[in-house]
Structure 1
Amino acid sequence: MSLPNLFASRISGMKASEIRELLKLLDQPDIISFAGGIPDPALFPVDAFQAAMAKALGGGNHALSLQYSASEGYLPLRQWIVGEMAKLGVPCEAGNILITSGSQQALDYLGKLFLSPGDTALVGWPTYLGALGAFNAYEPRYDRLQPGGNRSVQDYAAAAAPGRVKFAYLSVDFANPTGVTLSQTEREQVLDLAEGLDCAVIEDAAYQSLRYDGASIPPILALEVARKGDINACRTIYCGSFSKTLSPGLRIGWVCAAKSVVNQMVLLKQAGDLHTATLNQMAIAEVANGDFDEHLEKLRGLYRSRRDRMLAALETHMPAGVEWTKPEGGMFVWVTLPKGMDGAKLLEQALKTEKVAFVPGGAFFADGSGANTLRLNFSSPSQQAIDEGIARLGRVLTAALVPG
């Protein structure tokens, strides 16, 4: 018997996440890791969650918190999100919100909703590895999304033939992995392209709340609502998450979109896992309705200082020929090495000689290119670890660049 011979063709496109494998290194105390895109656990609002869980389980509330629930999600949480979306320039109703088991589930459902084998997804070059992992199961083709580039609507459509472009996926604020933010002009250009192609826009807003410098820019969904006057006339699908602000372990994300999209996603949710854990939703709602803005300011202050520390360390320790981004927020710095260098091979050497980890950049490219790039995370390590880890990485790079 050989059950793998019975696997569906989509399985061939599913690969282990390099990031998830690298996270195993966090258990080794001698490794300084810049690999995981994870929050600092010291900043989790533990006391608030303990009180929220106790409230959700006490006073007879267990009949709700431990029971099956609506697939759309816990109504008080959806109503809180409605208020937050309004602050971003997106007036909507609870019917425009679906609670998901993290924004990763939303990406999986959106791939399932839109992609047939051979359809095209427009993505960044590089883009979020988890999005590629979610979409790969539905056997798409990928094309490079270039806001403001010299490619026309006709060029994109011709490259997608005989299939068609179904959506453009992008993170517009402090993107994973690059840390780059799209300007308002570039966001408008994405909307124009989507209108020309008659495709959806998937806006991944996982890091939108973590801005440290500069003026906020309206989300693509807000720009489209301003154009059309009604979220239910919009093609943009906004994916939010509490994983970077409150807790990744509770797995609470959301989708904000036209009701025609949300209603179809509810059917996928019913077929997938019925509903997101009610107890977790109730706890998130309770904490979010507390001192959420104060909590965000605390996060921003600490992460800003770590970003600044990493950028200063890179200036001090990186050899000539190495370049990096200077993000206004988020959790990542993107490093470009001299041509001919291989981030994966560099990681092997860095772990062996200096006990420092990062994510090789090639995993973030749909075509496997980008070998001479890597991603560094600054939200998790301490300032002291950043200083030491970047110094170690600098030694590895300097040695790798020595001829012979």
Structure 2
Amino acid sequence: MLNWDNMFATRSTRMRASEIRELLKLLDRPDIISFAGGIPDPGLFPDKEFKQAYADIFDSAAVNSALQYSVSEGYKPLREWLVKQMADLGIPCELDNVFIVSGSQQGLDYLGKLFLSPNDTALVTWPTYLGALQAFNAYEPSYDQLTPGGNRTPDSYREAASQKGGKVKFAYLSADFSNPTGETVDREGREKVLDLAEELDIAVIEDAAYQSLRYDGDPIPPILALEIARKGHINNTRTIYCGSFSKTLAPGLRVGFIVANAPVIRKLVLMKQAADLHSSTINQMAISEVAERGFDAQVAKIRAAYSHRRNCMLAALEKYMPAGTSWTKPEGGMFIWVTLPKGMDGAELLAKSLESAKVAFVPGKAFFADGSGANTFRVSFSCANEKMIEEGISRLGKLIASEIG
């Protein structure tokens, strides 16, 4: 028998199956009410618009370019559209600052590869996006806790990284309606992250996958916008903005983007040339057409739908959750984060819930780089209707109450 473990690179030991991807399989079970998958509602996809966009591409001379190899930087009209969108967010940039990736997950993988040597430290929030941890893990880093708005000293981070045999390389965070908690970092917290990054001389990776999905409150400038305001030009900044069309237009087309200073973009382009040459040209063209024709209308549609579902879930949690539990109240995004009484375990609760209550959610421990957070879990409202939310949260509340005793 071949012993593959002796042949695999050491980094392979850091690869773990995604609990979320496994739980998505439950969506096919009609007896399960699932709040597990943090995925967009397919009923809200602009399918007619995409059908027209692909038809137009195939009916034009552009079809030859659509089916051909293309430049690694990405489809120029889409990047030009993104330059205008970024300007509206307070991020003036040029074409050389915009890079198309095959979903923002590929962008996170590239950034891990670009910055992390074995034993270097990545600063991440506790909890943080599971996909980011999976992307970074392949490059064998250590992790330390990033607390936006906190008072931890730069020297303490440096010392901890040195003890682990490397340097602090970047701070990663989702500042708006984060996955998994739904929480938003306020302006002061964003400014403090920039201050810390300046002191440590590290990059800031701003995951903006949910930025368009604000339902309440006033928008807060992206971290990159705040840094440009400090430094005058994007090419003087250390913040790397990662965006996506997956939550607004269509996740299956796998089109994301990175906006950053030109030297970083040039390095990322070299990585793409070595990895997959370029993202799907025809998909970029279709995204460009649909975005140009009606991005704002599409965002307004999904905001209205998701905002209503969030309100329904918050009301159901208030109605059915027993004393001793608490949850976040997000201003946008797709997620609510529930904290159970100390001593309870979200993974054990899930096993019982799938057996008796027939409700799925994601245990929180997987989102913590240090393995803590056992008494937490994430629920998503994006694909649930009012009836599902009312019934599912009611069942879950009864199960938790019975466990508390």
CA drift at 1:241: 0.2
Give secondary structure in 2 for the equivalent of 1:274.
Answer: coil
Structure 1 match to 2:229 = 226
1:75-125 residue CA offsets vs partner (Å, 9 max, x unmatched)? 000000000000000110111011000000000000000000000000000
1:153-183 residue CA offsets vs partner (Å, 9 max, x unmatched)? 1111111104110000000000000000001
Q: 1:287 aligns with which of 287, 290, 293?
A: 290
Unaligned runs of 5+ in 1: none
- Establish whether residue 397 from structure 1 lines up as the match of residue 403 from structure 2: no
Distance in 2 (CA, whole Å) between partners of 1:57 and 1:271 is: 29
Q: 2:204 aligns with which of 201, 204, 210?
A: 201
Structure 2 match to 1:150 = 151
Amino acid at match of 2:356: T
CA drift at 1:378: 0.6
Structure 1 match to 2:364 = 361
Structure 1 match to 2:76 = 75
Amino acid at match of 1:140: P
Structure 1 match to 2:125 = 124
* Counterpart mapping for 1:151-190 below 5 A: 151-161=152-162, 162-190=165-193
TM-score by length of 1: 0.99
Q: 1:261 aligns with which of 255, 264, 268?
A: 264
Distance in 1 (CA, whole Å) between partners of 2:218 and 2:4 is: 54
TM-score by length of 2: 0.99
- Establish whether residue 332 from structure 1 lines up as the match of residue 335 from structure 2: yes
Whether contact under 8 Å (1:100, 1:255) holds in the other structure is yes
1:31-78 residue CA offsets vs partner (Å, 9 max, x unmatched)? 100001101111000100000011122222221111111000000000
Structure 2 match to 1:28 = 29
1:209-238 residue CA offsets vs partner (Å, 9 max, x unmatched)? 000000000000000000000100100000
Amino acid at match of 2:360: A
Distance in 1 (CA, whole Å) between partners of 2:117 and 2:40 is: 35
State the percentage of identical aligned residues: 65
Amino acid at match of 2:393: I
Distance in 1 (CA, whole Å) between partners of 2:331 and 2:212 is: 11
Whether contact under 8 Å (1:55, 1:61) holds in the other structure is no
Distance in 2 (CA, whole Å) between partners of 1:58 and 1:108 is: 36
Runs of 4+ with deviation above 3 angstroms:
none
Aligned length in residues:
402
Amino acid at match of 1:134: A
Whether contact under 8 Å (1:116, 1:138) holds in the other structure is yes
Structure 2 match to 1:114 = 115
* Counterpart mapping for 1:93-112 below 5 A: 93-112=94-113
Distance in 2 (CA, whole Å) between partners of 1:307 and 1:176 is: 14
Distance in 2 (CA, whole Å) between partners of 1:31 and 1:58 is: 44
Structure 1 match to 2:306 = 303
Distance in 1 (CA, whole Å) between partners of 2:69 and 2:151 is: 51
Distance in 2 (CA, whole Å) between partners of 1:178 and 1:99 is: 27
Cα RMSD of the aligned pairs, angstroms, is 0.6
Whether contact under 8 Å (2:340, 2:375) holds in the other structure is yes
Give secondary structure in 2 for the equivalent of 1:290.
Answer: helix
Q: 1:352 aligns with which of 350, 355, 358?
A: 355
Unaligned runs of 5+ in 2: none
Amino acid at match of 1:108: D
